Amino acid sequence: ILNVEQSPQSLHVQEGDSTNFTCSFPSSNFYALHWYRWETAKSPEALFVMTLNGDEKKKGRISATLNTKEGYSYLYIKGSQPEDSATYLCAFNYGQNFVFGPGTRLSVLP
């Protein structure tokens, strides 16, 4: 059974703080690693798809890195804003499908 872990489970930060969280996944049979941002009552929104060891992706204040050899990815948010409050899901893509982590719930306090 493939297991994808995310830490921390939840996080509260002040507006303006930078933060990061981790996704751990199996280092074998790697195809891609996805990050999704999921706001309450909305659909999960794709942030990044990462396929190569050493990949770094950036979208505005959010960036992600990938290490496929050791099986982890970091998501960074610089200067957190209240609108960043959401659950951040990572998904390990092997073959035809995904295994999702449990998510990290981020709350940014004004």
Partner 1 sequence: DAGVTQSPTHLIKTRGQQVTLRCSPKSGHDTVSWYQQALGQGPQFIFQYYEEEERQRGNFPDRFSGHQFPNYSSELNVNALLLGDSALYLCASRWEDSYGYTFGSGTRLTVV
Please report whether residue 40 would count as binding partner 1 according to CB under 8 A: no
The residues in 42-61 that bind partner 1, with binding defined as CB under 8 A, are 42-46, 49, 51
Please report whether residue 101 would count as binding partner 1 according to CB under 8 A: yes
Q: Strand 32-38 and strand 10-14: pairing? A: unpaired
Strand extents, DSSP E, 51-85: 56-59, 62-67, 72-77
State the number of binding residues for partner 1 (CB under 8 A). 23
Candidates 19, 30, 36, 64; binder of partner 1 (CB under 8 A) is: 36
Please report whether residue 34 would count as binding partner 1 according to CB under 8 A: yes
Please report whether residue 26 would count as binding partner 1 according to CB under 8 A: no
Q: How far is the CB of 37 from partner 1 (least distance, A)?
A: 11
Q: Within the chain, what is the greatest distance between any pair of CA atoms? A: 42
Rounded to 5°, the CA angle 71-36-40 comes to: 135
Tokens of 46: 């794709």
